[in-house]
Chain A
């Protein structure tokens, strides 16, 4: 529980930003891109939105340092799960399965 009270206007501004980003992410999906382009755009905007929610709505900005550690750890561990699993998937088929290779 934070002792500092954020003014209500801040929350409304953040909501407007979130709505704008939502419109933006839908808008990007109408731009013809490679599959990877849609993934990168969608996830980047989502990350931005999630950051706003965590920092302002969830009061992470005014939370103790240990809360930050929890946030960072959860992001880091999801990234571990992704990166090391995909260390396998992204290298599939890179070596031919036949003699001499």
Chain B
């Protein structure tokens, strides 16, 4: 018996839950109908994603600017990133996107158990992504790829980077951390929302007529995937790899 169950009765829990931010199963007063509300919500998410495009776009502009200044150095720095884990993570996120879209597909067909299962898979793959990311960060730490904390100028000079160009290496790595860091934050938020959606599904909040929160969550999840689709070549694949 969990702490929550000792504190609140089932009815109280239900009442509390219905007042939470995400439990919007009712029609709000400003809308004419449920489809109207759903379409508006989806449009709102699209507009929000447009702002996210600009948010991440800024980081890509910065990478591009320094690539223009010193393409060879940035290329050399890119080769040191762990493209294998980056590639695995690309696959993980793509598959999780499929799971998400299958969850919505199931919702459209009113197969609530399937919805739940696919949402759990989505969240699970998201967590797998974060685990791989953590592993990659750990390896980066071991390989002295953290400018300002664990970074060895001599190593890079030995790799053929001119001492005067080390600034570009550090800036590229700084942008790598910022970019993947912000992306990981987005994934974490996404996992949280997907888990909430799974719980709501379990509680029978959705139907074939109304699954707008699922739809909106899906848009967000796919967007996070798209960001990674661009992050991957921009950070990991700038140079010529050799086996």
A residues within 8 Å of B by Cβ? 1, 5-6, 8, 11-12, 14-15, 18-19, 22, 25-26, 28-33, 35-36, 38-39, 41-43, 45-46, 49-50, 53-54, 56-58, 63-64, 66-67, 70-71, 73-75, 77-78, 81-82, 85-86, 89-90, 92
Contact = CB atoms under 8 A, between A and B. Distances in A.
B222 A57 contact: yes
B90 interface: yes
Contacts of B212: 1
B76 to A, nearest CB: 10
B195 interface: no
Residue among A35, A36, A75, A82 with max Cβ neighbours from chain B (10 Å)? A35
B218 A58 contact: yes
B87 A46 contact: no
Nearest to A4: B108
A49 B229 contact: yes
Given A22-B87, A57-B222, A78 B57 contact: yes
A30 B61 contact: no
Query: What are the 9 closest A-B residue pairs judged by CB atoms, nearest first?
Result: A42-B233, A74-B50, A35-B71, A29-B237, A78-B57, A74-B53, A1-B38, A15-B98, A70-B46
Contact of A35 (B60, B65, B219, B238): B238
21 contacts: A11-B102, A11-B105, A15-B97, A19-B91, A22-B90, A22-B91, A22-B94, A25-B232, A26-B237, A30-B241, A30-B243, A32-B240, A35-B72, A54-B222, A58-B223, A71-B50, A77-B53, A78-B54, A78-B60, A86-B64, A86-B65
Contact of A45 (B65, B100, B233): B233
A57 B101 contact: yes
Nearest to A7: B105
Nearest to B75: A35
Contact of B230 (A12, A43, A89): A43
